[in-house]
Amino acid sequence: MPKQSIKVDINTTVFKWLRESFGWTVEDVSKILNTSAKTIELFETGKKKPTFRQLTELSLAYKRPIATFLLSAPKEEKPKPKDYRMLPDKVDVFDKKTI
């Protein structure tokens, strides 16, 4: 009997918020899940549901519990601190490692 993957119904705005809060692009997430950028876009628009395994992999990458993907709305985050070490053309643009 072949294994079936469990599809998880998620809030698309939460899914997108998690990616953007880390400063990652759709391509970055697609590399983590070993899938296409189009698939990630389908997750974010709600046209396709991610599997539980994909959410597990993302929760490890985002360093957040899986339950975060099941929130009804994105959590309000504290504003990013002001960093005075930035170049004038890079103000408020943080590196992914910094975030």
Q: What is the pLDDT of residues 50-84, one digit of tens each?
A: 999 999 999 998 889 999 999 988 888 776 666 66
Asked whether residue 92 carries a pLDDT value surpassing 80, the answer given is no
pTM above 0.85, yes or no: no
What domains, with CATH codes, occur in the chain? 12-74 (1.10.260.40)
Rounded-to-integer distance, Cα 71 and Cα 88, Å:
37
Q: What is the DSSP string of 20-85?
A: HHTT--HHHHHHHHTS-HHHHHHHHHTSS--BHHHHHHHHHHHTS-GGGGG-SSPPPPPPPPP-TT
Rounded-to-integer distance, Cα 82 and Cα 77, Å:
15
